[in-house]
Amino acid sequence: MAHDFISNFGLRGFLLLVLLALLIPKRTAAQQPALNLMPMPASVQAGTGSLRVDSSFSVVLTGHTEPRLERGVERFLEQLARQTAFPLNLKPAQYAHATLVIHTDHASKEIQEVGEDESYVLEVTTAGATLTAPTPLGTLYGLETFLQLVDVTSDGFAAPALTIQDHPRFPWRGLMIDSARHFIPLEVIRRNLNGMEAAKMNVFHWHLTDNQGFRVESKKFPKLQELGSDGLYYTQEEIRDLIAYARDRGIRVVPEFEMPGHSTAFFVGYPELASAPGPYEIDRRWGVMDPAMDPTNERTYKFLDEFIGEMAKLFADQFFHIGGDEVNGKQWDGNQKIQEYMRAHGLKNNQALQAYFSKRLQAIVAKHGKSMIGWDEILDPSLPKDVTIQSWRGPESLAAAARQGYRGILSNGYYLDLGWSAARHYAADPLSGDAANLSPEEKQRILGGESTMWTEYVSAENIDSRIWPRNAAIAERLWSPAEVRDPASMYARLDFLSPRLEWLGLTHRTCYWQMLHRIAGPAKREEFAALRTLADVVEPVKDYTREETAAVEATSLSPLNRVVDAVPLESDAGRRFGELVDKFIGTSCLDPDAGGRLRSRFTVWRDNPAKLQPLAQRSFLVNEVSVRSQDLSALAGIGLAALEAIAKRQPATDSWKSQQLAALEQMKKGKVQLLLIPVSAVQKLVEAAASGGTCASAKP
């Protein structure tokens, strides 16, 4: 029989198939996680069988209990009901009948502190589950883990039997949201706190003031919000509610008030604080501006003493962020009085002047019972060691701070607004680079990290998609053991977590679709599909390129309604296409399934401009991206030609290759602030075609 088959198929074909079978990469256990947990727990021991989850599921709280835990269990049951659509009884169960028995040992601190015990142990058997934790913080995290374990199976919903012992690697796992550049409504903040809880993040850093807005109600200095916010600010009552909401989820709220720079919004109401005469207006532009507080005027400190006193009472957390970054010093240079003060006090330069300001500020912050935190620029050996440094400029400054005895957190590498891939953020580690060489004592000073969501190009509408799902990869970096670092496993679990995050109210997936519908206007099904085909494989330009390549300067009043605002910062379809090309090349371009899928993708892309054309004529927002639609079509043409050459197994000519690569290089550039993601994968196919499909020079 085998012989017949070989003779029919041809020996050459048969050998190719054998080779193919040998070459198709096998997925390793690490790439194919049995458990879709994110962040990955510190330790997981698999058991046998699974625990059925049905409408009789119940929970009991034992040991220490408090209203926060009861609310936590209620949220847990609501979420479980959403995951299974079972009508669940939200009332606490009797001990003997409960499916999940929780034991919490003792209360956590009334005002949550850095480094409290957040550990838990979760044991699931076929008969039931137990969750034990020293404090409610661990209990809340254990409930999140349990929710991630429950999934549909062939005979109902179930959680696998196992034992998890879990605790975080770092005590500070934060997300910063900038509510100043674009005002972010409380309901949006709340749903992001829901996401943080699911990802086991425990610090919400709230960037509340900047040149573009002052977002907090001050009763002592009401002109701050009255003149500095366009009416878009949070009342003190709303802030108290938000802090309580965060505490319920094991999340601390650290407020940031930017000074002495990034502070124009202070000066609209109180121009006397500035280093140059007013009047001042809310700044609508992005970037570093000249206005800065006057560090040589005692009135500045009197104001800050009263203001910080008021805010220190409003925000319960131990930490108080004073910003401190990006002071360009121009107002200081231009002020005669300030220059004289510097000479008289031996302050040699603006850096020394800022250090003087930081020292005075630290004393005020400490007087009101708080620990000061600020961006790298405040680092100065004259400051007391109580100060914490948030590193945005690089891991070197974090290590330098730790060496000098300061505590620090890493944000460099975690800037969500730069549009990096989840994998790139995931690779950044607070204890890598210079920090890897610190002594154990110095390493202890590195408390963790924070992702940052700056909102130049982020609105209430699209903020979720700028934060999630990538933020969950950063959350895992900060929670899970350092050895958990395989990007393939991370992406597999992220794909699982991402849709589930929408159950918590986040809109990172649905907002894409909704925004595209606005962009398209009334559209036929196939027209909308054509827009989606293009939008799925583009990403906004990275880093600060959007600022640098804007046709018209963007401001806080520019509408964020373009394709660049709607598409996710990381294209799933683009990533998967890259994986498919790698798979194809990994089989020396022999895998017929991968080859067929590539061909059909290219065909759709090649034919897409004609389908998009009617929409481009009706919508200026679609018309803007027609140029990228043409590029995608041209790219597909190159891809198809490469596949054809590969199928012939005859190396394409050098001149063909260099022509195609040059064309692709042009397509790689951002246009209408969009990157075409499949370009680099098609470059690999061209290389493969030039080697006759043996892929000698094309590396997956």
We find the least distance from the C-beta atom of residue 395 to ligand ACM, in angstroms, to be 15
Nearer to ligand ACM, 394 or 700 (CB): 394
**Amino acid identity for residue 529 in this structure:** A
Q: Is 547 in the site for ligand ACM (CB under 6 A)?
A: no
Alpha-helical segments (H) within 85-165? 136-149
Using CA atoms of 208, 214, 215, 217 in order, give the dihedral in degrees to the nearest 10.
120
Q: What tokens appear for 454 in the block?
A: 């700056």
Given 326, 396, 442, 579, the catalytic residue: 326
We find the least distance from the C-beta atom of residue 328 to ligand ACM, in angstroms, to be 12
Evaluate whether 291 touches 280 at the Cβ level (below 8 Å).
yes
Backbone angles phi, psi at 379, to 5 degrees: -60, 120
SS3 176: strand
Nearer to ligand ACM, 310 or 377 (CB): 377
Nearer to ligand ACM, 214 or 375 (CB): 375
In angstroms and rounded to an integer, the radius of gyration of the C-alpha atoms of the chain is 28
Cα(304)–Cα(314) distance, integer angstroms = 15
DSSP 474-493: HHHHHHS-TT---HHHHHHH
We find the least distance from the C-beta atom of residue 392 to ligand ACM, in angstroms, to be 4
Evaluate whether 466 touches 509 at the Cβ level (below 8 Å).
no
Nearer to ligand ACM, 141 or 392 (CB): 392
Nearer to ligand ACM, 144 or 450 (CB): 450
Q: Comparing C-alpha atoms, which of 117, 156, 130 is closest to residue 61? A: 130
Nearer to ligand ACM, 374 or 586 (CB): 374
Residue 91's contacts (CB-CB under 8 Å, 6 or more residues apart) are none
SS3 20: helix
Nearer to ligand ACM, 416 or 447 (CB): 416
Directed axis angle between helix 186-198 and helix 136-149, to 10°? 80
Cα(322)–Cα(307) distance, integer angstroms = 12
Torsion-angle region of residue 672: left (phi > 0), alpha (psi -120 to 50) or beta?
left
Evaluate whether 414 touches 425 at the Cβ level (below 8 Å).
yes
Q: Tokens 């009861």: give the residue.
A: 70
Cα(22)–Cα(42) distance, integer angstroms = 35
Nearer to ligand ACM, 350 or 633 (CB): 350
Residue 446's contacts (CB-CB under 8 Å, 6 or more residues apart) are 170, 398, 402, 407, 408, 409, 410, 430, 431, 435, 438
Alpha-helical segments (H) within 219-329? 223-228, 236-248, 264-269, 298-314
We find the least distance from the C-beta atom of residue 262 to ligand ACM, in angstroms, to be 8
Evaluate whether 450 touches 205 at the Cβ level (below 8 Å).
yes
Q: Which of 117, 151, 226, 325 binds ligand ACM (CB under 6 A)?
A: 325
Q: Determine how many CB atoms are found less than 10 A away from the CB of residue 265.
A: 28
Backbone angles phi, psi at 102, to 5 degrees: -105, 135
Nearer to ligand ACM, 324 or 651 (CB): 324
We find the least distance from the C-beta atom of residue 468 to ligand ACM, in angstroms, to be 21
We find the least distance from the C-beta atom of residue 390 to ligand ACM, in angstroms, to be 8
We find the least distance from the C-beta atom of residue 325 to ligand ACM, in angstroms, to be 4
Evaluate whether 19 touches 588 at the Cβ level (below 8 Å).
yes
Instruction: Scan residues 119-138 and list those touching ligand ACM (CB under 6 A).
Output: none
Q: Is 326 in the site for ligand ACM (CB under 6 A)?
A: yes
Q: Is 386 in the site for ligand ACM (CB under 6 A)?
A: no
Nearer to ligand ACM, 165 or 328 (CB): 328
Cα(64)–Cα(54) distance, integer angstroms = 27
For residue 430, what are the CA distances in angstroms to 91, 387, 437, 448? 42, 18, 12, 6
Nearer to ligand ACM, 270 or 392 (CB): 392
We find the least distance from the C-beta atom of residue 254 to ligand ACM, in angstroms, to be 14
We find the least distance from the C-beta atom of residue 440 to ligand ACM, in angstroms, to be 29
How many residues line the site for ligand ACM (CB under 6 A)?
Answer: 4
Q: What tokens appear for 537 in the block?
A: 């494989």
Nearer to ligand ACM, 33 or 394 (CB): 394
We find the least distance from the C-beta atom of residue 180 to ligand ACM, in angstroms, to be 12
Query: Which positions from 280 to 319 touch ligand ACM by CB under 6 A, shown as an x/- string?
Result: ----------------------------------------
We find the least distance from the C-beta atom of residue 218 to ligand ACM, in angstroms, to be 23
Evaluate whether 38 touches 31 at the Cβ level (below 8 Å).
no
Instruction: Scan residues 337-376 and list those touching ligand ACM (CB under 6 A).
Output: 375
- Give the per-residue SS3 of 446-482: EEEEEEEECCCCCCCCCHHHHHCCHHHHHHHHHHCCC
Evaluate whether 542 touches 673 at the Cβ level (below 8 Å).
no
Peptide bond into 499 cis (omega under 30): no
Q: Which of 233, 266, 392, 406 binds ligand ACM (CB under 6 A)?
A: 392
We find the least distance from the C-beta atom of residue 454 to ligand ACM, in angstroms, to be 7
Nearer to ligand ACM, 546 or 671 (CB): 546
The verdict on whether 326 is a catalytic residue reads yes
SS3 321: strand
Backbone angles phi, psi at 145, to 5 degrees: -60, -45
We find the least distance from the C-beta atom of residue 507 to ligand ACM, in angstroms, to be 26
SS3 419: coil
Backbone angles phi, psi at 590, to 5 degrees: -105, -20
DSSP 33-79: -SS--SSPPSEEEEEEEEEEE-TT--EEEEES--HHHHHHHHHHHHH
Where in the sequence numbering do the catalytic residues fall? 326
Interface ranges with ligand ACM (CB under 6 A): 325-326, 375, 392
